[in-house]
Structure 1
Amino acid sequence: MTAAHQDSLDAATWLFVPGDRPDRFAKARAAGADMVVLDLEDAVAPERKDEARDYVHQWLAAGNRNAVRINADGTRWYADDLAMLARHRAVVMVPKAEDPAALGAIAAQLTEPALVALIETARGVLDAAAIADVPAVRRLAIGTFDLAAQLGIAPGDREALAPARGALVLASAAAGLAGPIDGVTGAVDEPELLTADVNYARRLGFAGKLCVHPRQVPTAAAALRPSADEIRWATTVVEATTTEGVAVLNGQMIDKPVVDRAQRILLQASPRP
């Protein structure tokens, strides 16, 4: 598996940086995010799209490894974005992902495709299982702001968006993918809200967070890590595991599903390379 594939599978914190701000590329990487996403879409004004694409091309050509959010299918920049990325090895974040065939067509244009399907529409949510089954799709992510706008709800309304989040968790698990990536928290300077958002998403089965500012990265990373109590429980379970397949710990049965969960927690707690 290539580095690009492995990064897309494992990354927990994903930090967007505008593609037309090359002065911020290295700073974003230094912020400590697991994956920096060079954004050619929402963060770049229409008149600067071509310039941004050139900056991203130069950065990737220099050997830097990043994700790139392209412009959506149907825009006049889409084909040029893909043509540029066909020359590089990068994780490609696909906005408005809702058509499995379109994702397959994107993958066919790339040398070593590793796609993150950013699901931001009702159709994308309804077809999340088929999207997750596309071989080149390595992660699902939810775009809460665009989805909420289409649904006519507030992007911060957890109850209203719970069915959509649940659909992505189920689709990811059924396809054998890592837990999906949660959408952005728009409030940059409210760490308590960010922590609460990440804790909520993590309880649902999410395993990543989209960030829009470097200050959000350490807070999101801390919230995504298992707690000390979780680590202690997982360590005790793994140590109590027997070759017979079933054990009893503190009066509670421990079988394979319990052990699998404990091992997943310890993996999440391990330092990232």
Structure 2
Amino acid sequence: MSTSRSSRSYLFVPANRPERFAKAQAAGADAVILDLEDAVSIDDKDHARQQLADYLEGGGTGIVRVNSIETRWHDDDMRLCALPGVQAVMLPKANSAGDIVAARSHMPASVPLLPLIETARGMANANGIAAAPGVSRLVFGTVDFRTELGIDGDEAELLTFRSTLVLASALAEIESPVDGVTVEIGNVDLLRAACVRSRRLGFGGKLCIHPSQVGAVNAAFSPSAAELDWARRVVDLARSSPGAFQLDGKMVDAPVIARAEQLLRLAPVPAA
């Protein structure tokens, strides 16, 4: 997982497919999610957990998506998350701050928690979940959420709920949330449009279900060359122009300067 900036891309890989782990790690994603939940069949849960334990004990790393608190596999999954190499824990179907407290009681204090908001209860309790100790970032589980609420569509239909997670994250002063997957793997135009929409709404990253999606996601959640050029000019002028000033025919004041500084913090680190 990236340590120099917030992760933009989170790539899922099934925990029962160890032959795919290296490919996932090499795909360019900022973070890899080793998935014990949806990607693993009921009959293979215990075997997948052992395969993942072998990988982590052998020096592997990644985020672990455990099974939800209501399942019989959850406690064993959480014990696995004490192993070295676990960079964060993703908790599916996080419904309340109490779920966060329960999960964290089985985790090392240094390991971040990423709650998946994918139920009506979770969305209703988003403020409390975001503010719970140890939560690093909210993640929107759009597919499960749409299924529970009977929502047909991923655009305007989810606008209110996406904005709810952005607001909850800001109130809790945690990282901007991560948007859900685009299930149409081969539709690059749809993926790019989804990323642009998410970033404009205040999301900072997106879940990926295939390595081919990573590049487009990373590009969309990174400042463009034009944005960085504008930000540098704003910051440079702010040093010599106290108060408000004009740039390119637009007023620049403290909030605009803060936005420019934010963009510069997101700029890629030059290679050594």
- On the 8 A contact 2:195/2:206 being kept in 1, the answer is yes
Q: 1:144 aligns with which of 137, 142, 146?
A: 142
- On the 8 A contact 1:8/1:139 being kept in 2, the answer is no
Q: 2:68 aligns with which of 72, 80, 88?
A: 72
1:84 and 2:113 matched: no
CA RMSD of aligned residues (A): 1.9
Aligned residues: 268
Structure 1 range deviating more: 59-68 or 28-37:
59-68
Task: Report deviation, 1:64.
Answer: 2.4
Q: Aligned AA for 2:135? A: V
Q: 2:173 aligns with which of 173, 176, 179?
A: 176
How much identity, in percent, do the aligned residues show? 44
Secondary structure, in 3 states, of the residue corresponding to 2:218?
helix
Secondary structure, in 3 states, of the residue corresponding to 1:145?
helix
Give the gaps of 5 or more residues in structure 2: none
Change (3 A) 1:35 1:272: farther
Q: 1:108 aligns with which of 98, 105, 109?
A: 105
Paired position in structure 2 for 1:159: 156
Secondary structure, in 3 states, of the residue corresponding to 1:44?
coil
Q: Aligned AA for 2:151? A: I
Change (3 A) 1:9 1:232: closer
Deviations 1:199-223 (A, max 9, x none): 0000000000100000000111111
Secondary structure, in 3 states, of the residue corresponding to 2:13?
strand
Return the TM-score normalized by structure 2: 0.93
Task: Report deviation, 1:29.
Answer: 0.3
Q: How does 1:13-92 map to 2 (within 5 A)?
A: 13-88=9-84, 89-92=86-89
Change (3 A) 1:187 1:132: same
- On the 8 A contact 1:9/1:138 being kept in 2, the answer is no
Task: Report deviation, 1:272.
Answer: 8.4
Secondary structure, in 3 states, of the residue corresponding to 2:239?
coil
Give the gaps of 5 or more residues in structure 1: none
State the alpha-carbon separation in 2 of the partners of residues 244 and 227 from structure 1.
Answer: 25
Secondary structure, in 3 states, of the residue corresponding to 2:139?
strand
Q: How does 1:181-192 map to 2 (within 5 A)?
A: 181-192=178-189
Deviations 1:31-74 (A, max 9, x none): 01000000000000011111111111112122222101000111
Deviations 1:77-98 (A, max 9, x none): 1111011112334300000011
- On the 8 A contact 2:56/2:83 being kept in 1, the answer is no
Secondary structure, in 3 states, of the residue corresponding to 1:43?
coil
State the alpha-carbon separation in 2 of the partners of residues 86 and 109 from structure 1.
Answer: 8
State the alpha-carbon separation in 2 of the partners of residues 79 and 243 from structure 1.
Answer: 58
Paired position in structure 1 for 2:118: 120
Return the TM-score normalized by structure 1: 0.93
1:97 and 2:94 matched: yes
State the alpha-carbon separation in 1 of the partners of residues 8 and 77 from structure 2.
Answer: 25
Paired position in structure 2 for 1:256: 254
State the alpha-carbon separation in 2 of the partners of residues 209 and 272 from structure 1.
Answer: 23
State the alpha-carbon separation in 2 of the partners of residues 54 and 100 from structure 1.
Answer: 29
Paired position in structure 2 for 1:133: 131
- On the 8 A contact 2:244/2:254 being kept in 1, the answer is no
